[in-house]
Amino acid sequence: MIYFLSLLALTLNPFVWKKNIKNKRFIAAQTGRLVLGLLLVFLTTYFGLIDHTWQAFLSYGSFFWGFFLLLDLMYRKEKTVLLNAAAGLLLLLFFAYLHFLYPMTVTKAKYDFAAAKTTIVAQPEASMDEQHIPVVPEKYARYKSEKVLGELSHVSYYELGHTSLQKIDGHLYWVTPIEYSGFFKWLKSHKIPGYIRMSAENENANAVLVKKAMTYVPSAYYSENLKRLVRAQHQTPILFDPSFEPDESGKPYYVVAYGYYQKLRQIPEIQGVYVVDPQNGKIRNYSLKELPHFIDQAIPSTVAEAWNTWYGENIHGFWNKLFAQEDMKRPTEWSQSDEVNGVFDHNLELNWFTDFTRPKSGSGAMVGYSMLNTRTGKMTYYASANGLLNGKSAMNVAEKTFKQNKYEAGIPNLYTIYGQETWVVPLMDSNHVLRELMLIHGKNENVYSAETDKRTLFDSYKYALATKLGDDHAVPTDSALLKKLTGSVTHVYRYYDGEAHQTVTQFMVDSSERIFTVTSGQNPYSVFLKAGVQVSFQYVDTNERVSAVKTFQIEGKK
């Protein structure tokens, strides 16, 4: 039915047809216009995958129909042709208004839409579990994934797709689907061998290939193209960018969010997702309220970016955005990444995170940050973050700390760690190999830890919080205080750390059931520790069973 719209490409003036119906040149011209109309409908529906709605017709059809009506000026001597041309000009003006002027009139409506989804919170969430904070940067994950891709047979057929952070069976992974590298490679293969998965929590893990043959993927062509497959069965909804999401068993799925526009295609509203099995092409439809548990991302990052921008910049309308900029705040813009980053909260639910700064160029402090739940679309804005370092400032601190190494900071994420808002910043060399991890206190850049492994990183950060925030109003919580303990050693275990070139001793004392850790670098006498020896030491008191010792002394030894 959609191809009947191509008839609008014909001359619609009956007087022109009556006079020229036997003219071969006229018939040829009309045939050419009809063919052009069919081609335009084909391009916008088959390749553009445009939705079959009246809003889409107004948005795109007004330009093409207006163009064809103006073509009728070649028959300007006929009756009412000038009326046709005037209608065509009006349609072109309407198209220009719709795409260039009308968006300015709905600036405040966009803010109201985003604000209705937003809850303002004064205090951040509870402390995160550091075991589920991703310390592996995306670039490093892709670096290792490229190495796995290079081991495939017919490797020239394939390339890495979009890498995303996923929760699988209670752990965080970087997941990268494999895609075709071109049309002719698709013709020769017609099968994707699988996808690549790498732990986002363990910096020492390697990327692995998950062998799951797939046919229906975004880079395939014709009927095997993922979005074309969905559009063939669902013609009216707006289709957004797909996300690749394996379930808890590792079975791959593509999730295509769908919805509708408000205000003449200006405000996208997500209503649900189509879950596609790329192995057999089966499609299931879920609303946002009934999403399968394994789906982390129902709201695409591009939509989240738009909503955050509207919430920050459009508060008092279009002219305020240009001139006075009263109460405005802007999301951080990254040069080589999305403006929102995936962050899992303490409930292991994925959120799109972004921090906001003042409109002033070069501002190094944030005025707040937002967390947009990727399953519900609800956004939480944390207003108490006013004065914290923004993301770019955290990157600058990390890079200057290792200036002599010329390390490059990865995109940072803000977490609440031990009651403190903290930037997690990975550092890589020029080849995108992970070299250092940093935790930087959100309000005091002099409080940080930098280590090569996550366990030591968090131990060092606990100590920094306990010792360097004494004069700060943002004192650490009671889960990270420096305490002193004296007792008799009851158990001892030691091993040699080859990378650090030191002996690590773990021990217990009669006055506590915790396990304490001390290194020979801290106290060389610790290697002689044995049961029955009296010791006194300081440690960072947390809720964890294993605690790091910061000062250590054996009775009788200085």
Q: What is the pLDDT of residues 428-466, one digit of tens each?
A: 999 999 999 999 999 899 999 999 888 788 888 887 876
CA 79 from chain centre, in angstroms, equals 58
- For the chain, how long is the longest CA-to-CA vector? 117
- The region of weakest confidence among 7-11, 123-127, 353-357, 501-505 is 123-127
- For residue 335, what pLDDT is reported? 59
Residue keyed to tokens 């929760």: 167
The fraction of the chain above a pLDDT of 90, given in percent, is 70
* E strands, 181-266, in order: 192-199, 208-214, 238-244, 254-262
Structure confidence by residue, pLDDT tens digits, 275-287? 999 999 999 999 9
**Mean pLDDT across the chain, nearest whole number?**
90
Strand partners, 440: 423, 448
Structure confidence by residue, pLDDT tens digits, 191-221? 999 999 999 998 889 999 999 999 999 999 9
Calculate mean pLDDT across residues 470-492. 70
- For residue 124, what pLDDT is reported? 66
Structure confidence at residue 348 as a pLDDT band (50, 70, 90): confident
Calculate mean pLDDT across residues 490-512. 86
Maximum average pLDDT range among 12-26, 236-250, 493-507: 236-250
252-283 burial code (b ≥16 CB/10 A, e <16): bbbbbbbbbbeeebbbbebebbbbbbbbeeeb
Structure confidence at residue 477 as a pLDDT band (50, 70, 90): low
Calculate mean pLDDT across residues 133-151. 93
The fraction of the chain above a pLDDT of 70, given in percent, is 93
Structure confidence at residue 474 as a pLDDT band (50, 70, 90): very low
pLDDT of 475 over the 50 cut: no
Encoded amino acid at 157, one letter: Y
Distance CA 176, CA 142 (A): 8
Pairing of strands 515-519, 502-509: antiparallel
Contact 366, 386 (CB under 8 A): yes
pLDDT of 7 over the 70 cut: yes
Q: How close are the terminal C-alpha atoms of the chain, in Å?
A: 90
Structure confidence by residue, pLDDT tens digits, 232-262? 999 999 999 999 999 999 999 999 999 999 9
Structure confidence by residue, pLDDT tens digits, 68-92? 999 999 888 888 889 999 999 999 9
Which residues have C-beta within 8 Å of that of residue 424, sequence separation ≥ 6?
A: 133, 134, 135, 412, 413, 414, 415, 417, 437, 438, 439
